[in-house]
């Protein structure tokens, strides 16, 4: 081997060892972020939901505020506005939700795949 190849080999080994040392030193720290593999478990027969992930089609005319909050972009305030709005006029089409303050075209586009307006029918 010539001197240039030995220099490259030494540099490669040094960088590899430095990388392993850095990885091990970070891993040994108690606050090192490890991936979480927690699985939600149902308790007392209640469905397990994750924020922003509806468990099924959501009917804005009958859904509870908690169910509405599973829709992407819908928080507690918007959920309550939907509940309040449906008491005066029921929603018959997705576009009706645009009358709710805080729901615009972008929000409607995000929640559209999860909406249903009558039993067994998707939006």
pLDDT of residue 103: 94
pLDDT of residue 30: 65
Answer yes or no: do 72 and 117 share one domain.
yes
**Angle subtended at Cα 101 by Cα 117 and Cα 77, rounded to the nearest 5 degrees:** 85
Task: Please give the Cα distance from 36 to 3 (Å, whole number).
Answer: 47
Residue 37, in any domain of the structure: no
Range of the domain at 94: 65-122
Whether 70 contacts 58, CB under 8 Å:
yes
Residue 116 bridge partners (DSSP):
122
Residue 52, in any domain of the structure: no
Residue 39, in any domain of the structure: no
Number of domains in the chain: 2
Answer yes or no: do 118 and 70 share one domain.
yes
| CA nearest to 74, candidates 97, 93, 95 | 97
Query: 């929000």: which residue's tokens?
Result: 107
pLDDT < 70: residue spans in the chain: 1, 27, 29-55, 119-123
User: How many other C-beta atoms can be found within 10 angstroms of the C-beta atom of residue 10?
Assistant: 10
Residue 47, in any domain of the structure: no
pLDDT in tens, 72-102: 989 999 999 999 999 998 999 999 999 999 9
pLDDT of residue 45: 54
Answer yes or no: do 24 and 69 share one domain.
no
């Amino acid at each position: 081997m010539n001197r240039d190849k030995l220099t490259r080999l030494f540099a490669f080994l040094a960088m590899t060892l430095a990388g392993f040392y850095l990885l091990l030193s970070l891993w040994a720290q108690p606050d090192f972020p490890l991936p979480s593999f927690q699985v939600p478990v149902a308790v007392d027969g209640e469905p397990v939901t994750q924020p922003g992930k509806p468990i099924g089609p959501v009917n804005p005319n009958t859904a509870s505020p908690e169910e509405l909050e599973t829709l992407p972009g819908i928080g507690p305030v918007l959920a309550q506005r939907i509940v309040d709005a449906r008491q005066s006029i029921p929603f018959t089409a997705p576009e009706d939700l645009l009358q709710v303050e805080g729901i615009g075209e972008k929000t409607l586009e995000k929640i559209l795949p999860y909406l249903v307006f009558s039993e067994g029918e998707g939006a």
